[in-house]
Structure 1
Amino acid sequence: MIRHLVLFKLNEGVAKDEPRVLAGVAAFEGLGKQIDELREWQCGWNLTVRDIAYDYAINSLVDDAEALQAYLTHPAHQAGVALWREFATWVIADIEV
């Protein structure tokens, strides 16, 4: 199994209640039901308000590298990424569990 973690940081001056951000959140919230390879799907805003904190997180689980690749290339995932690319940066970690 592979745990896929993503932490998003909104770009300077971007507020989480902007329409484009809300559209990005909505796109990611629906992925768990759209992509069969996802065994677990969680996403949401970080509750911690600190300078070093990221703003939004995704925590997901897939069976293997093939399933991870299917998720990453899925059209719904790619559409969400295209939205987030407009207003945020992110870091990822994929760990074997």
Structure 2
Amino acid sequence: MIRHIVLFKMKDRSPGSIEAAANVLRNLQGKIDVLVSLEVGIDVLRSDRSFDISLTAEFASLEDLQAYQVHPLHQEVIKYMNEVREQSVAVDYEI
């Protein structure tokens, strides 16, 4: 299994903007067959050093993660997030 984690810091850090972006990410659930699980969370501390949104996804294999990366729906979400995020960081590891 592969775990994929992405943290997003938004350009507009208002609660409504953050919730809208989180909902775009949540919309991936059940729509990409290689996506075993998806969890999207919103930061509760809201400190200056905090990221605003966390996405955690799991895949059965590295090949499934790679298929997810190029899936058209994921590409649409990337395009949206690139417009609304200030910064993102990611990590992928075996579990």
Two-structure CA RMSD over aligned residues (Å): 1.7
Distance 2:22 2:43 in 1: 13
Distance 2:75 2:19 in 1: 16
Distance 2:16 2:60 in 1: 34
Match of 1:2 in 2: 2
Q: 2:72 aligned with 1:75, yes or no? A: yes
Q: Which runs of 5+ in 2 are unaligned?
A: none
Match of 1:96 in 2: 94
Match of 1:87 in 2: 84
Q: Cα distance 1:21–1:46, how it changes in 2: closer, same or farther (>3 A)?
A: closer
Q: CA deviation at 1:21?
A: 6.8
Distance 1:55 1:21 in 2: 10
Conservation of the 8 A alpha-carbon contact between 1:21 and 1:87: no
Q: Cα distance 1:87–1:21, how it changes in 2: closer, same or farther (>3 A)?
A: farther
Conservation of the 8 A alpha-carbon contact between 1:28 and 1:43: yes
